[in-house]
Amino acid sequence: MPRKALLLGATGLVGRLCLQQLLDNDAYESVTVLSRRDGTLSHPKLDWQVVDLEKMESCQALFQVDDVFCCLGTTMKKAGSRQAFRHVDHDLVVLAGQLAKRVGVQRFLVVSAINANARSPFFYSRVKGQMERALQALELPLLVLVQPSLLRGQRDDKRPAEDWGNLLNRVIEPLTRWTDAHWLPVDAEKVAEGMVGMALEGPDSGLYKLRYRDFLVYSGKLHERQAKSG
């Protein structure tokens, strides 16, 4: 049966690539986007809702879909403070999970980070880990924690640390291709394809962590599915 999807964070690097995959895939009959700002993309099955994410609970009805893809996230520079960063990367993400749980969403996929750890001494990793822990406590039917390392792709904002990390890893990556080194950099497109591939070709229940090799596997499954459908 055709599915309905809801996407949060559609203007970010992974989010906008995920949106394109959802729109291009015949498995989804409709894709709803919740965003603070209007989008320029037009598509017959796209419903772009400009909303105040602080009042997300007023959008409860829009969560009545099969699959929720949560790509919400910010940077410390954009947020301006630790409190503001945590609000976006933890509070709003967990609220989305709570709303999905209330209406019986089957699949919830969320972008986190490879170094997520609720007990980490590092603020970023700790926030991501606490977000994951809070979502796990909701006991959603299917929860997929998408954990990329450094992302490759064209961002709207510059992230020097990520740029330097990617440069370094381009040098050493050929030496580690035979391993399951989840800290390897990955193309954002593969992450987006892996998310959609996991939703369509993966299990329907349980808790899963999607990492470097998994992105490649489920991206491949997505391409195989699309090839078969024509």
Tell me the pLDDT band of 183, cut-offs 50, 70 and 90: confident
Residue 153 identity (one-letter amino acid): G
Note the pLDDT tens digit of each residue in 118-127: 999 999 999 9
Whether the predicted pLDDT of 192 surpasses 90: yes
Average pLDDT, the chain: 91
Tokens at 66, concatenated: 């099969």
pLDDT number for residue 166: 46
Residue written as tokens 């490649």?
216
Between 100 and 40, name the one with better pLDDT.
Answer: 100
What percent of the chain clears pLDDT 90, i.e. is strictly above it? Answer: 83
pLDDT number for residue 182: 82
For β-strands 151-152 and 142-146, DSSP reports them as unpaired
Query: Could you give all domains of the chain from N- to C-terminal order, each with its CATH number?
Result: 3-229 (3.40.50.720)
Whether the predicted pLDDT of 163 surpasses 70: no
Q: Is the CB of residue 164 less than 8 Å from the CB of residue 27? A: no
Tokens at 200, concatenated: 């369509």
pTM of the model: 0.90
Q: Is the CB of residue 30 less than 8 Å from the CB of residue 49? A: no
Between 113 and 155, name the one with better pLDDT.
Answer: 113
Contacts (Cβ under 8 Å, ≥6 apart) of 93: 70, 72, 110, 131, 135
Whether the predicted pLDDT of 74 surpasses 70: yes
Mean pLDDT of 174-179: 52
